[in-house]
Amino acid sequence: MHVAWQPTASLDSLYLRAEILRKIRGFFLARNVLEVETPILGHSCGTDPYLDFFTTSYGLVSESDTLFLQTSPEFAMKRLLCAGSGSIYQICKAFRNGEVGRFHNPEFTMLEWYRVGYNLADLIAEVIELLEYLSVGFLSLSATEQFSYQDVFFEKTGLDSLVFSLERYSAFALNHNHSEALAICGHDHGLWLDFIFSHYVQPALGLSGFCLVYGYPAIQSSLARINQNNPNTVERVEVFFNGIELGNGYYELQDSKEQNQRFDLEIKYRDLTGRPRVVKDDRLLSALEFGLPECAGIAIGLDRLLMILSQNTHIEDVLSFPIARA
C-alpha cells in the first residue's frame, strides 16, 4: 500500500515521461520549431465560461494585485507570435480549479504549439504525424480517422448539430434515460451539444486508433476562425483516443475586434451563471491589433497521452504526486 509521501507513478512511468519529452523535443527541433517559455502567473486569464481558475495575491509594500495561474499558455504564446517569433512550441504546467478524477488533475502538463503559415488541414497532418511517431513501440494502431463534427454527431445520434431543436434534443435524451438533460441544458444549444456529444459520441471515438473531429459548430467557436465556406462552423479540431479527449486546436482567429466581442460574450455568460469573475487579457487584444500571422495551433494534454501510451487507466498512474499527495 502506498503511503502519503510515496509517488503514485511507477518507475517505468517516470522513464516513459522522460522518453516522450525527449522525442517531442526532437520532433520539433527537426522542423525548426522554437521551444519557448511563458509565465505561469499572469495578470489576466481566459474567459472560457466552463473553466475555473486559481488566483493568488501578489503583495508589494505600496500595492497588491491578484494574479492568475494560467489554464493554458495560449495567450502569451500568441503575443510571441505577434512579436515575430515564428513557429513555436512549449511544454509546461497548466492549472484548472475544481478538476480532479480519472482524467483530470488540477495541475497538469500541456504540450502546445503554433505553426506559422499552416491552415487547419496542415495542422491535422502534423498532429497525426507526431502522435503516430510517439506511439511506436507502445500501441498497435489502426489508421487514424477523421470526421466532421456534423457527420459524426448525426451518425451516432441522428440529430443535426447545426440546427437546434429543443423538441428533438430532449426527446433523444428522454429515450436514452437522461431526463435530467432538460434541466441541465435548458434552451442552451451549446450545452445540449456538450451533453449529447460527451455521452453518446465521444465514448465511441478512437477505439482502435486516434480520431480527429473537425468543423465544430460556430456556437463552439472558442478561439477559432469562422469557416469561410460554411459560416455555421469554425476551423477547430479535437483529438480523441479510446473515447478520451487529448487535444484541442484551431486555425487561429486574427481579428482583435471579433476576439474582444467573444471575450465579452463569455464574460457575460459567466456572470449570468454565477461563475468566478475573470480579467480580460487586454495585452493579447493589443497584440492581435498589431498583427497575428496566419497560423494554426493545438494543445495536447501530455498526462493523458502518457496514460494511453502506458496503457494505464487513471491519470494518477503517470503523475509523480497527484493533488492528493502534492
- What count of other Cβ atoms lies within 10 Å of the Cβ of residue 64? 9
How many Å apart are CA 121 and CA 110, to the nearest integer?
Answer: 22
Q: Is residue 196 part of a domain?
A: no
Q: Is residue 180 part of a domain?
A: no
Q: Is residue 124 part of a domain?
A: yes
- How many domains, in total, are found in the chain? 1
Backbone angles phi, psi at 90, to 5 degrees: -150, 140
Q: Looking at residue 1, what is its pLDDT?
A: 55
Range of the domain at 73: 11-144+209-325
How many Å apart are CA 189 and CA 57, to the nearest integer?
Answer: 37
Q: Is 163 exposed, middle or buried (0-12, 13-18, 19+ CB in 10 A)?
A: exposed
How many Å apart are CA 52 and CA 301, to the nearest integer?
Answer: 17
Q: Looking at residue 313, what is its pLDDT?
A: 92
Residue entry with cell 527541433: 29
* CA triple 195-45-211, angle to 5 deg: 40
Contact 32, 38 (CB under 8 A): no
Q: Looking at residue 299, what is its pLDDT?
A: 98
Q: Looking at residue 110, what is its pLDDT?
A: 98
Q: Looking at residue 238, what is its pLDDT?
A: 98
Q: Is residue 172 part of a domain?
A: no
Q: Is residue 195 part of a domain?
A: no
Cα distances (Å, whole numbers) of residue 249 to 7, 245, 300: 32, 12, 9
Please provide the size of the chain in residues: 326
Going by C-alpha positions, the residue among 97, 100, 32, 49 that lies closest to residue 70 is 97
* Beta-carbon contacts of residue 230 (< 8 Å; ≥ 6 apart): 215
CATH number of the domain where residue 29 is located: 3.30.930.10
Output the tens digit of pLDDT for each of the chain's 326 residues: 567 899 999 999 999 999 999 999 999 999 999 999 999 999 998 888 888 999 998 876 555 688 999 999 999 999 999 999 999 999 999 999 988 889 999 999 999 999 999 999 999 999 999 999 999 999 999 999 999 999 999 999 999 999 999 999 999 999 999 999 999 999 999 999 999 999 999 999 999 999 999 999 999 988 999 999 999 999 999 999 999 999 999 999 999 999 999 999 999 989 988 888 888 999 999 999 999 999 999 999 999 999 999 999 999 999 999 999 99
Q: Is residue 203 part of a domain?
A: no
